[in-house]
Structure 1
Amino acid sequence: MLNNAGIMLPDDAASPLDEATTTAQMTTNLLGTIRTTSAFIEHLKRQPDATILYNTSALAFTPLAPFAVYSATKAALHSYALSQRFLLRDTGVKVQEIVPPWVATGLGGVDGEGQAMPLEDFIAQAVEALATDSEEIVVEQARTYRDNAGPGEHAYVTESNTSMAALLQE
């Protein structure tokens, strides 16, 4: 079962948020994914071998400030996948998570030409990793964001957002 839902709209967490935009992202990115999995979970548990595959984002680990709500929904989905993986550990259901970097898809209204990972490259690397038993599918270009600075996280997020702000304004 593949859960791949995402609305990525800009917001400003330093100002009042638009309720409709915030709700749409929360409903699609988080609640829609959880509800879909919930609808099929008993069926999946009756299978001898099943996989639930979540598509989160490197922004779950290193949030991008102009997309704070999107980043938060993907972080929440990562947390949910961790819990579900633990709870399903004694069943035939495997829970995997794809953690894409910035991929040139136009999500968020920016194609990222030159900075974003080409879609074809991402697909090839993700498919190769999916053939393994890895719980997280993290292509090399997303590894830095996934393995962010731990206790130095705030400084790392600030540095990442500063460099991305320059790219987004180009």
Structure 2
Amino acid sequence: MQTTGNTILVTGGGSGIGRALAERFHDRGNQVIIAGRRLDVLNRVAAGRDGMATLELDVADAGSVNAAVAELGQRFPAMNVLINNAGISRPEDLTAAAWDFDLAEATIATNVTGVLRLTGALLAMLRQKSNAVVITTTSGLAYVPLASHPTYSATKAFLHSWLQSLRHQLRDTGIEILEMSPPYVQTELGGPQQLTDPYAMPLDAYADEIMTLLETGDTPDSEVLVQRVMGYRMAEREGRYAETFAQGNP
């Protein structure tokens, strides 16, 4: 991936990994558009950063996606990089007498349907650009699930599979398809306690390592993997799946 001279859309760009990457790309001179549901939050992030723009977008809402894509075409016709980062993660008790299916459905709507809908809507635009890239955030939990977060883990496994098919189908278009699979990182994805959890990887360290991998092209099999997630990524290949699952799900 070319890490300078791009026009980049980052969904979920108001906080966590999305914000950290948006700021690092912006520091390298890229035009960056951060998108999310809370425009006030996005505006605070973009304040003081010349060239960083905001876009109201709820990837789980088809109307919002259609409106955002139309606005992108008008305001940012040079957009050549899409970073699918918006996502939600909540624990679920599948043994409960009244399992909250609405929560599972909302997780799928954001993490899966939202990614497919937005990516599909922007492919025609990306086909016209040189150095076009789609980066999609999955998770180490795509390879070894966290049993307390069954739907979240499954959505990331779905995306891991879907991206392989997308990459194959677009192999002759010039659009690069990258998968970014974070480990447990200090963000508020799983709640405020995750932000300071000493077992989680510091956000700045994660984002810095990702940028180094992208800049050096160290993305074998089109996967952007920091060292801390490799234990999960390689667990099944190395015959450690049962052990790794047990460690993550005591």
Q: Confirm or deny a common fold (TM above 0.5).
A: yes
Question: Equivalences for 1:14-163 in 2 at 5 Å?
Answer: 14-15=95-96, 17-109=99-191, 110-111=193-194, 113-131=197-215, 132=217, 134=219, 135-150=222-237, 153-162=241-250
Counterpart AA for 1:121: A
In the alignment of these two chains, the number of paired residues is 162
Which one has the largest radius of gyration? 2
CA offset digits 1:4-62 (Å, max 9, x no partner)? 01110001234463121011100001100110000001111122320000011101111
More helix by share: 1
2:176 partner SS: strand
2:152 partner SS: helix
Structure 2: gaps (5+ residues): 1-81
Partners of 1:42 and 1:97 lie apart in 2 by 20
* Structure 2 residue corresponding to 1:6, chosen from 87, 95, 99: 87
Structure 1 residues 8, 80: closer, same or farther in 2, change over 3 A? Answer: same
Structure 1: gaps (5+ residues): 163-170
Q: CA deviation at 1:81?
A: 0.8
Q: CA deviation at 1:130?
A: 1.6
Q: Which stretches of structure 1, 4 residues or longer, exceed 6 Å deviation after superposition?
A: none
Partners of 1:79 and 1:57 lie apart in 2 by 12
Q: Report 1 or 2 for greater relative contact order, CA contacts < 8 Å, sequence distance ≥ 6.
A: 1
Contact 2:85/2:136, CA 8 A, preserved across alignment: yes
CA offset digits 1:106-129 (Å, max 9, x no partner)? 211231521000000000001111
1:65 partner SS: coil
Partners of 1:3 and 1:118 lie apart in 2 by 21
Contact 1:99/1:138, CA 8 A, preserved across alignment: yes
Q: CA deviation at 1:155?
A: 4.2
Q: CA deviation at 1:159?
A: 2.9
Partners of 2:94 and 2:101 lie apart in 1 by 12
CA offset digits 1:61-92 (Å, max 9, x no partner)? 11101011100001101111111011111111
Counterpart AA for 1:136: E
State the TM-score, normalized to the length of structure 2.
0.61
State the TM-score, normalized to the length of structure 1.
0.89
Contact 1:13/1:65, CA 8 A, preserved across alignment: no
Say what the alpha-carbon RMSD is for the aligned residues.
1.6
Partners of 1:58 and 1:17 lie apart in 2 by 25
